[in-house]
């Protein structure tokens, strides 16, 4: 019969903490490049410059948009909506 020593137990717990992300420093969210906002708060697709249609919100975490011009689905975390770049006029 083999007993689990304290050091083995400590190693196992350290691995679990590392997997859960408790000891990992958070990096800032990446810059948004797929959409931009007009001064009138219209969310537009960066690829074509056209307004996006809001399809809904998932779990109060993400907003789902759809571009009817490009036929593309775009998901944006709600936490970064305030950091969305504001562009007066797109140059396409």
Domain count, the chain: 1
Q: What is the pLDDT of residue 34?
A: 86
Return d(Cα 86, Cα 41) in angstroms, integer: 8
Which ranges of the chain have pLDDT less than 70?
Answer: 1-6, 13-32, 89-92
Considering the domain boundaries, does residue 7 fall inside one? no
Q: What is the pLDDT of residue 42?
A: 92
Considering the domain boundaries, does residue 18 fall inside one? no
Cβ proximity of 65 and 74 under 8 Å: yes
Considering the domain boundaries, does residue 35 fall inside one? yes
Cβ proximity of 75 and 62 under 8 Å: yes
Considering the domain boundaries, does residue 43 fall inside one? yes
Question: What pLDDT digit, counting tens, does each position of 27-46 carry?
Answer: 666 666 789 999 998 999 99
Q: What is the pLDDT of residue 8?
A: 75
DSSP annotation string for 6-67 = HHHHHHHHHHHHHHHTTTSPPPPPPPP-SEEE-TT--EEETTT-PBPEEEEEETTTEEEEEE
Considering the domain boundaries, does residue 9 fall inside one? no
Q: What is the pLDDT of residue 55?
A: 96
Strand partners, 63: 57, 76
How many CA atoms does the CB half-sphere of 28 hold within 13 Å? 4
56 Cβ contact partners less than 8 Å away, ≥ 6 residues apart: 63, 64
Domain membership of residue 58 as a residue range = 26-83
């Amino acid at each position: 019969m083999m007993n689990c020593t304290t050091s083995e137990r400590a190693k196992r717990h350290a691995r679990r903490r590392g997997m859960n992300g408790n000891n990992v420093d958070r990096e800032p969210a990446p810059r948004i490049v797929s959409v931009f906002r007009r001064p009138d708060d219209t969310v537009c697709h960066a690829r074509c410059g056209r307004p996006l249609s809001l399809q809904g919100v998932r779990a109060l975490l993400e907003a789902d948009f759809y571009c009817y011009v490009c036929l593309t689905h775009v998901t944006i975390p709600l936490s970064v909506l305030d950091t969305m770049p504001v562009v007066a006029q797109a140059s396409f």
